[in-house]
Chains A and B, each alone.
Chain A
Amino acid sequence: MEMVVVAPPAPGRLENLKRRFFATPLQALLSLISLAIMAFIVWKLLDWAVFSAVFTTSGGPEACQAAAGACWSVIAARWRIILFGLYPFEEQWRSALACVAVVVMTALSCIPAFWTGRRIALVWGAGTTLYYLLMKGGVLGLLYVGEEAWGGLALTLFIFITTCLIGFPLAICLALLRRSELPWISRTTGIVIDGVRSLPLISILFTFAIVLPFALPQWLVGDKLYRVIFGSALFFSAYQAEIVRGGMQGVPAGQEEAAMALGMSYWQRIGRILLPQAMRNALPATINQFVISFKETSLVVIVGFFEILASGNAAYGTGEWRFAYVEVYAFIAFIYFVFVFSLSRYGAFLERRMAVGER
């Protein structure tokens, strides 16, 4: 007779629940109390957000003030200001299309099939050009709209995407310079990185927006928006450079030696051997940095740009919707959540994908 060893059956779901939450009378009591509190909160929230809320604009602000729940009519009435800011009303479809363009561009560049130099350059080139043409106009019969009138979600997305597009390559350059064998290069880079990191973002934005025009020749000044984006990219790159450098330190020295011994050039070693492994090491911290940067775009309001949060302020701040600020902020928080949460999920997907073949 052969003995067959079988693992004890896993407890059923109900059994599991009982073991975890109702093992002793005291535990059962605590579980019930917690459950009741949670149910109460959920009920209150639902009641406020759905059952007692006002959704239509037909009654105007007065209908809202009479109701006990949320006043979503403010969103219905003012969503255009929140999403598009001061952009001319008649032209706001362009702003919407521009948002779609950058979101599609980002989504495409997240797909592994697009990760070749030519494809990614094509996607980014097309995406940013399309955004710029749509927003700025002045060609193809589109009305000219200056950067000072851009706003809302369209502006937030643009600042975030361009900050990353400029800041990320800059970060890799800084990280490579910092590990240079020539001490004067690595030390200078170190001072630049530490210098930028020791300044608050607000002061950098302020300097680039207000002070820089006095110091630069006229032809170099450019629009305030682009100076602010450059400042924000510089700030991003200083942090990201250290993240990339940390990732590089995690790659064993033998990797570069093996690549050298095969006759690969410096850029081949960096591009094919060092960076792919360094970025894998640096991925969690990198996603973190992207998330922080997305939320930090709201700071541009101090130099006079109406990104989504500032546009939200404008949406309830004038006249009859003054009381409905909670709903406006909830709406904006929801938009932030959608973008940041997708970013985090994408990061998790990348980590799983890169874990293939890990030691």
Chain B
Amino acid sequence: MTANSTKPHRPAVRLENLDKYYGTFHALRKVNLSVERGERIVVCGPSGSGKSTMIRCINRLEQHNGGKITVLGTELNDDVANIEGIRREVGMVFQHFNLFPHMTVMENCMIAPMIVRKRPRAEAEATARQYLQKVRIPEQAMKFPGQLSGGQQQRVAIARALCMRPQVMLFDEPTSALDPEMISEVLDVMVTLASEGMTMICVTHEMGFARRVADRVIFMDGGEIVEEAPPEEFFTASRNERTRQFLSQVLGH
């Protein structure tokens, strides 16, 4: 107890008064969010509400125009070394997988640990095998991404991010581009990851997933966080009109 109180409180990710403009369009309006280590956050909201923009600011795929982003105790600034340092600790999974098509699955998983973390080849290979096992496709290691199904590609993309041994994982609509029958194989992997204590921020419309694993569900609209609540409260006792409207559209049928 006393040990805890003397140690400064350091959340995994903290956004303070985050502002982002695309030209004159105000994409994020003074967004505040703090994510603890080991916490699982699901972000939902209508398209254009700023969900993707928000998580893309965390690893500087988008540059914010105002406010402060702190990742693992380090404030994100314009310095390239600072940005790359934060990106090494923050894994990201994209809607369209973005695997490198000119490399095998194995090479996709090995390249960043080798050239970014400077790990020896043998170690990178062992790590890659370990995580391909974890996402349940060790047998596809020597294939090229183009030879895999969408669900398999997305699982490789998760393994590729995990091979960097990140402390935070960002998921940007990881199942939106998948055929319906492939969604569950990807969600299963994400559920496993969540159960192992990974800090996760997931932009997704999979409300079943949110109910199962989220510690908090965040609803965004018009560049603002409209509501944040634990899932049971969020789904059953939402106070906000816009949230209720969105939920009825997502869950309605």
Residues in chain A within 8 A of chain B (CB atoms): 252, 254-255, 257-266, 268, 272-273, 276-277, 280, 354, 356-359
Contacts and interface: CB of A to CB of B under 8 A. Distances in A.
Given A263-B112, A264-B112, A357-B104, A258 B84 contact: no
Interface stretch (B23-31, B95-103, B208-216): B95-103
A258 B94 contact: yes
A262 B164 contact: yes
B136 to A, nearest CB: 21
B134 interface: no
Contact of A257 (B88, B98, B112, B164): B98
B116 interface: yes
Nearest to A266: B80
Contacts of A258: 92, 94, 98-100, 157
A257 B94 contact: yes
Nearest to B96: A254
A268 B113 CA distance: 13
Interface string B126-153: 0000000000000000011111000000
A326 to B, nearest CB: 48
Interface core residue of A258, A264, A272 (most chain B CB under 10 Å): A258
Interface in B225-250: none
B59 interface: yes
B84 A277 contact: no
The 7 tightest CB contacts between A and B, nearest first, are A357-B144, A258-B98, A262-B112, A263-B88, A254-B98, A261-B92, A263-B87
A277 B102 contact: yes
B144 to A, nearest CB: 3
B115 interface: yes
A280 B96 contact: no
10 contacts: A252-B96, A257-B61, A258-B94, A262-B161, A262-B164, A263-B85, A263-B87, A263-B112, A276-B102, A357-B102
A273 B100 contact: yes
A261 B87 contact: yes
B159 to A, nearest CB: 12
Interface residues of B, number: 32
Contacts of A263: 84-85, 87-88, 112, 116, 164
Nearest to A357: B144
Given A254-B96, A257-B61, A358-B146, A277 B115 contact: no
Contacts of A260: 59-61, 87
Contacts of B40: none
Nearest to B104: A357
A268 B115 CA distance: 8
Interface of B: 59-61, 80, 84-85, 87-88, 90-92, 94, 96, 98-102, 104, 111-112, 115-116, 143-147, 157, 160-161, 164
B85 to A, nearest CB: 8
Given A277-B102, A357-B102, A261 B146 contact: no
A92 B26 CA distance: 74
Nearest to A280: B102
A66 to B, nearest CB: 63
Contact of B87 (A252, A254, A262, A276): A262
A251 to B, nearest CB: 9
B92 to A, nearest CB: 4
A358 B101 contact: yes
Contacts of B104: 357
A188 B189 CA distance: 49
A261 B116 contact: no
Given A258-B94, A258-B100, A261-B87, 14 more contacts: A254-B94, A254-B96, A255-B98, A258-B157, A262-B160, A262-B161, A262-B164, A263-B87, A277-B100, A277-B102, A354-B102, A357-B145, A357-B147, A358-B146
A258 B94 CA distance: 8
Interface core residue of A272, A280, A354 (most chain B CB under 10 Å): A272
Interface core residue of B59, B92, B102 (most chain A CB under 10 Å): B102
Given A255-B100, A258-B98, A356 B164 contact: no
B145 A265 contact: no
Interface core residue of B96, B101, B160, B164 (most chain A CB under 10 Å): B101
Contacts of B96: 252, 254
Nearest to B115: A268
A260 B112 CA distance: 10
A280 B59 CA distance: 29
A264 B101 contact: no
A264 B92 CA distance: 13
A112 B162 CA distance: 31
A253 to B, nearest CB: 9
A280 B101 CA distance: 11
